[in-house]
Structure 1
């Protein structure tokens, strides 16, 4: 089975977990939405490339944007359509697709493109570069692109958050994230599907010669990855205060190195 087939099969099997993930990972969702809302123009035409089951797309549609969804997983797309129907929302399109190949889309057609998942799962630099170049091609001049990455420190943050006593069982995976920057799904490795990880210091360099000017680079959990689930049980007022704090410091070095997920927002020149 190819890498892409692994990824498609993984998300077809875990669509319910992925739908619920951004409720559990509420800081990741809330901080990322806050930055998107800061930069997006009103009533933008948006492509959500690698949309998952559509959490971001549905929020953006509810805010008045025109959103096209694409994802490798048939089940994710079906769930996005279902949830849109429940909410009385209209998605412009929702279809399966590969972020590496947007050849059916015209140049400079979108005000913004979200790529909040595909770069996690491409272990080939060539494939990652194809995603970036295709994203930029379909952006209008002055348009915004948001790319998400998983930190090489994410496995350690996750293990500390979920089961710190299991360090002996998970030490190999933690070291793999940190040192190898790759994880491949095999019968012996059940931690995650095929994935690629970055150091926060490397992200700006990835986009240096792409024609994207950096508007933001932030840690989605904003230094609080290990506390995220504990804070989720707070009353709404207190949780809102922590989210506001998280947004205010999300671009600091402490937040970049204290997060599992990292997001770069760039503006297309011209």
Structure 2
């Protein structure tokens, strides 16, 4: 499983750097940054687990945080290093490692931790809880962590433009509604685990975290990639207003349960 995921991200490393800049995915980035600015302390040591090419780490380093990056793809980390150098930023290290291998970090080492990718590539619940417990261990007292999951309720919406052929099989609608989907690279972009907000929150409660909030990264724009592209073509200022509002409303109960990316904010 680890090798499959590593191979995938090695291949799409450059794409991953640009993915969060497209007109639809930018709302995912802005919503997550909104949560980081709302819940993280103003400064401190941050570990970015599943950092990819450093899209979030670069922005946080610009804000003055001390960043440590960890990813299982060396190709992604190489790009992250280049980005740090390009922007004249420093880091506390680039670790090519799996989220399941956090023994290299000491107890209460970090003020805040991001886990924005690994949880939706781990099939076994026991392994996901192991990640949560290790994040808890290496967080300082009162430290904040942000975890991301892929939400089946939201991906059912996005399937209209991404995976519609899969739904010739009517059983797939029930599978998406029920959640807890485990797919391999033959049936998805790589090894993935899809869940639902209640399932993810129940799982998070098995660790000793206090759940502060949860959000839907795509907010009320979820599933409307074509529409938001039209808005951007019409007026960039109008587009920016929509993205700003979506980020600020990402925790609203009206929207957060039906987006592709579920983001949970916890405190030690």
Which residue does 2:5 correspond to in 1?
7
Number of residue pairs matched by the alignment: 262
- Partner-residue secondary structure (3-state), 2:224: helix
Contact 1:224 1:258 in 2 (8 A): no
Change (3 A) 1:240 1:50: same
Deviates more, 1:72-81 or 1:173-182: 173-182
Distance 1:168 1:114 in 2: 34
**Does 1:143 pair with 2:143?**
yes
CA-atom RMSD in angstroms: 2.1
1:122-162 CA-partner distances (Å, limit 9, x unpaired): 00111101110111110000100100000013432323244
In structure 2, the residue matched to 1:122 is: 122
Q: Distance in 1 between matches of 2:163 and 2:18?
A: 20
Counterpart check, 1:217 vs 2:214:
yes
SS state of the match for residue 223, structure 1? helix
**In 2: Cα distance, 1:245 partner to 1:64 partner:** 26
Distance 2:154 2:183 in 1: 12
Structure 1 residues 148-202: Cα deviation after superposition (integer angstroms, max 9, x where no partner): 00001343232324475x465687766654445111113xx3x311111111122
> What is the CA distance between 1:236 and its match in structure 2?
3.8
Per the alignment, residue 55 of structure 1 pairs with 55
| Equivalence map 1:106-185=2 (5 Å) | 106-162=106-162, 166=165, 176-179=175-178, 181-185=181-185
Using the alignment, how far apart are the partners of 1:265 and 1:37 within structure 2?
12
Please say if residues 117 and 148 of structure 2, whose CA atoms lie closer than 8 Å, have aligned partners that are also in contact: yes
Unaligned ranges ≥5, structure 2: none
CA shift, 1:77, in A, is 0.4
Distance 1:263 1:151, change over 3 A: same
Larger CA deviation: 137-146 vs 210-219: 210-219
Counterpart secondary structure, 1:69:
strand
Runs of 4+ in 1 over 3 A off after TM superposition: 161-164, 166-180
Most deviating of 53-62 and 84-93: 84-93
**SS at 2:6's partner residue?**
helix
Query: TM-score, normalised to structure 1's length?
Result: 0.89
Answer yes or no: is 1:100 the counterpart of 2:97.
no
TM-score (norm 2): 0.90
